[in-house]
Amino acid sequence: MRATPEHELVERCRQGDETAFRELVDQYKGLVFALIARSITNRARAEELAQDVFLKVHKGLPYFRGEAKLSTWLYRIVINVLSQERPELATASLDDRDDEDRPRVQPAADDRAFGDLVMKDRLHKAIEQLPIPYQVLINGHYLKGMRYEDLAEALNMPMGTVKTHLHRAKRRLRHLLETEYR
């Protein structure tokens, strides 16, 4: 089935068309939920937060002027919802220098934990410790359907710096795995 063009869908939603809003939820629920579920381990809570995102969309639609893309606006709401859930990570510094101060563990030659199931769990826990913009950057980048442009706009970052921030986020993740989640 052909997806309704974004502006048409938004306009119908703004006019109070419930079917259009249902269509909007159906169209974006996969991305929104996947993005949240990668930051929130508790599945029920992740589902609740994803629903909150769409409730905020429903409330905000009359004021949505279409200057940004609907998807960008949605991702911004996801970031807000995650920031409200983990306020301590919403304002965490993205500055690399803060990370330099952490005690570092040199990778041991016999560390073969990477690649196994335990490692996946460690990775998830480490991602949960990252500042929210870094979480969204990492989680979104590896989700099919999210583009650099969307991430840059949603995170208010210039396109040119998205890749740099992504590398910084992954570096911080590696450091976390080398220290706290060994």
Pick between residue 46 and residue 74 the one whose CB is nearest to other proteins. 46
> What is the closest distance, in whole angstroms, from the C-beta atom of residue 144 to other proteins in the complex?
7
CB of 155 or CB of 162, closer to other proteins? 162
Provide the minimum distance between the beta carbon of 33 and other proteins in the complex, in angstroms, as a whole number: 4
Amino acid in position 26:
D
Nearer to other proteins, 75 or 91 (CB): 75
Q: Interface with other proteins by CB under 8 A: which residues?
A: 18, 21-22, 25-26, 29-30, 33-34, 37-38, 43, 46-47, 50-51, 54-55, 58-59, 96, 106-107, 109, 114-115, 119-120, 123, 138, 142-144, 163, 166-167, 170-171, 173-174, 177-178
* Measured torsion, CA atoms of residues 138, 140, 141, 147, in degrees rounded to the nearest 10: -150
By C-alpha distance, which of 21, 24, 51, 57 is closest to 37?
A: 51
The least CB distance from residue 40 to other proteins, in Å, is 10
φ and ψ at residue 128, rounded to 5 degrees: -65, -20
DSSP 36-70: HHTT---HHHHHHHHHHHHHHHHHHGGG--SSS-H
Cα–Cα distance, 94 to 25 (Å, whole number) = 32
Distance in Å, CB of 95 to other proteins, minimum: 13
